């Protein structure tokens, strides 16, 4: 089967990993980066170094962009916009759903097909079975280039709204960010006395959190069903536990602001007459408190 020529604009940590994966998969790969020396290793492996963004775009029917942010992306592509006509632009730069929709409108006005993407990988896991990349926007370019995009990681198409990939990307990253905040909070608590080491504690934390993730599909089903939730817990029990987390944090000399806020929210629910903690209730309250 023939391979598609691909251009990669932006050779930071992630862009270099993407270009490397495309070369490994046998694609003719053209690259451009502001700091040209970052292309040296790729060129040594067979990539073509373009002198300008326009030259890079003209080299391939498919251009992947992976830059710092959307402002940089627009500033670099605008002078080369004429070259995009009739080609496909896949923007893998991290951004918001609104930015993704605006970028799609910008590209379509210039005659380009557009897909927005979110890379759910770190550079070292690109092109491994762990990696997946979210795409949304026009279906036709996704179908046309899916086989090529699979070289980066499993390609998951989420729908016609160009903003959906960014929305899911940031939602997934938000879960990761809060998880790591929780991890470091827990480590600060557990190492507050002389007995605890972060390493020993983490040996307990990883299986505990791994077990707890198994509950998420049931919570998700409750959120989707709109019916009587299957998973419920007494609000008084949850409140008592979170109060203790706040107290124990303070006693250990660790900031408790997240838990104090949580206690205040739970107390408000109790004062309003709620008696159970359910997935749909938590999501509803999050949606209305913004």
Shortest Cβ 159–ligand FVH spacing (Å): 20
- Judged by CB, which is closer to ligand FVH: 14, or 47? 14
- Judged by CB, which is closer to ligand FVH: 64, or 239? 64
Output the DSSP codes for 189-232: HHTSSTT--HHHHHHHHHHHHHHHHTTHHHHHHHHHH-SS-S-E
- Judged by CB, which is closer to ligand FVH: 69, or 203? 69
Question: Which of the 8 DSSP states describes residue 278?
Answer: E
- Judged by CB, which is closer to ligand FVH: 60, or 249? 60
CA–CA dist 273, 269 (Å, integer): 7
Task: For 280, list phi and psi in degrees, rounded to 5.
Answer: -60, -40
Shortest Cβ 66–ligand FVH spacing (Å): 5
Say if residue 283 is exposed, middle or buried (CB neighbours under 10 Å; 0-12, 13-18, 19+).
middle
Whether 63 and 90 have beta carbons less than 8 Å apart is answered as yes
Residues that bind ligand FVH (CB under 6 A): 10-15, 33-35, 38, 66-68, 72, 76, 93-94, 119, 122-123
CA–CA dist 239, 260 (Å, integer): 11
Whether 107 and 113 have beta carbons less than 8 Å apart is answered as yes
- Judged by CB, which is closer to ligand FVH: 38, or 247? 38
Shortest Cβ 19–ligand FVH spacing (Å): 11
Shortest Cβ 263–ligand FVH spacing (Å): 34
Shortest Cβ 75–ligand FVH spacing (Å): 7
End-to-end CA distance of the chain: 50
């Amino acid at each position: 089967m023939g391979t598609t020529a691909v251009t990669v604009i932006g050779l930071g940590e992630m862009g270099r990993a993407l270009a490397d994966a495309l070369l490994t998969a046998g694609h003719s790969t053209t690259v451009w980066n502001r700091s040209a020396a970052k292309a040296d290793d790729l060129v040594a492996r067979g990539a073509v170094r373009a002198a300008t963004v326009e030259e890079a775009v003209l080299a391939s029917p498919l251009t992947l962009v992976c830059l710092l942010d959307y402002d940089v992306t627009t500033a670099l592509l605008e002078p080369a916009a004429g070259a995009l006509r009739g080609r496909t632009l896949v923007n893998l730069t991290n951004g918001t759903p609104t930015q993704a929709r605006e970028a799609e409108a910008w590209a379509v006005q210039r005659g380009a097909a557009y897909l927005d993407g979110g890379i759910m990988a770190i550079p070292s896991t690109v092109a491994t079975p762990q990696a997946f990349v979210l795409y949304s926007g026009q279906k036709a370019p996704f179908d046309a280039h899916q086989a090529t995009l699979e070289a980066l990681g499993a390609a998951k198409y989420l729908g016609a709204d160009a903003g959906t990939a960014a929305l899911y990307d940031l939602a997934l990253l938000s879960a990761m960010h809060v998880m790591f905040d929780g991890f470091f909070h827990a480590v600060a608590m557990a190492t507050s006395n002389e007995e605890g080491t972060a390493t020993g504690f983490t040996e307990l934390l990883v299986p505990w959190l791994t077990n707890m993730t198994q509950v998420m599909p049931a919570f998700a089903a409750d959120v989707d069903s709109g019916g009587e939730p299957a998973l419920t817990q007494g609000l008084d029990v949850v409140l008592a536990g979170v109060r203790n987390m706040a107290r124990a944090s303070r006693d250990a000399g660790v900031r408790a602001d997240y838990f104090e806020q949580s206690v205040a929210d739970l107390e408000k629910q109790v004062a309003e007459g709620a008696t159970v903690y359910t997935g749909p209730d938590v999501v509803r309250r999050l949606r209305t408190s913004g």
